Amino acid sequence: MSKTQPKLDYSTLPIEKYIALRAVPFEGREEVDYMMDLLSIVFDTTPDELSVMPIMEFSRLCGQIQFLNELPKAGRLRTHLINVDGWELTVTPSAAQMQTNQYVDFQTFTAQEGDHTIEQLSCLLVPVGHRYNEGYDMAALHKSLGLLPTQMVMDITAFFFSRSLLSIKATLTSLAWMSHFRRGGKEMRKMIREARRHLLQASRAAGDGSTPSTRSARPAASPGMKYGSNRSPKR
C-alpha cells in the first residue's frame, strides 16, 4: 500500500465509501475487528491483508481515518455545474424548480426508511441538456454519483434545502395573507398546515445526522438527508 496517497478527509472520501462505512456494525464486536472493516473500505483492502501488516503501518492507517470522528460540515456550493466520471450535471436549485415526477421521486426517497443517498442525488443532479430521467442511463448515473466526494454531497444538499426552505416560507406567507381575505378559510388553513409540515420536514432533512459518534473512528453521521426505500426513478 502506497504511503504517498493524498490526504484523506471528507473532500476526498467518495460518498459511496461513506455510505458503506456507516453500514458497518459496531455493537458487540471487538474494536480491532471494527477498525479493520473500516480500513478495508477506505483503502480498498481486506481484513486478511490488514492482519498481517506491520503494526506501525496499521496504526498509521488508523490515524488517517480519525477525521471520521467529526461530522462532515456543509459549506458553500461554489458551482452549479458538477463534473464526475464523464458526466456534466446541473444542480436543481430548489424544490420549486423541480418537475412533478422529479419532486415525487425525491419526496419518496426522503420520507421512507433506508439509505438512498445516491437515488436522492440523482433527483438533484440532472445531466446538462436533459430533462429529469429522460434521454440518459439512470443506472449509469447512479454508479457515477457514488464517486462524488462526501463534502460536495453535503454542500449540494445544504444548498438545495436552504433554497427550498426559502420557497416554502414564501408560500406560507402568501397563504396566510390569503386566508384573511377569503370566506370559508378552512381549506386555506389546511393548505397552510400542509406547507408548514413540508417546512418542518425540510428543516429536519437539512440538519439530519447532527449527533457525532462517541466511538473511535466511527463514521459520524449521514450527509444531510433522510433516505428512502428500494424505489428507483423510472428508467
Instruction: Please name the residue that has the C-alpha cell 470522528.
Output: 69
Cα Rg of the chain (Å, integer): 21
Mean pLDDT taken over the chain: 77
pLDDT at 214 over 70: no
Residue linked to cell 462517541: 214
**Does the model's pTM come out above 0.75?**
no
Residue type at position 13: L
pLDDT band with cut points at 50, 70 and 90 for residue 73: confident
Q: Which of 40, 43, 39, 41 is nearest to 5 (CA)?
A: 43
Most confident of 76-85, 125-134, 154-163, 164-173: 125-134
Higher pLDDT, 83 or 80: 83
Res 76: pLDDT: 81
Res 6: pLDDT: 66
In order of 34, 121, 147, 226, the CA distances from 143 in angstroms are 26, 11, 8, 20
Do the strands 125-127 and 87-91 form a parallel or antiparallel pair, or are they unpaired? antiparallel
pLDDT in tens, 95-136: 888 999 999 998 888 787 888 899 999 999 999 999 999 999
Query: On the CB side of 23, how many CA atoms lie within 13 Å of its CA?
Result: 11
| Percentage of residues of the chain with pLDDT beyond 90 | 46
Average pLDDT over residues 40-44: 96
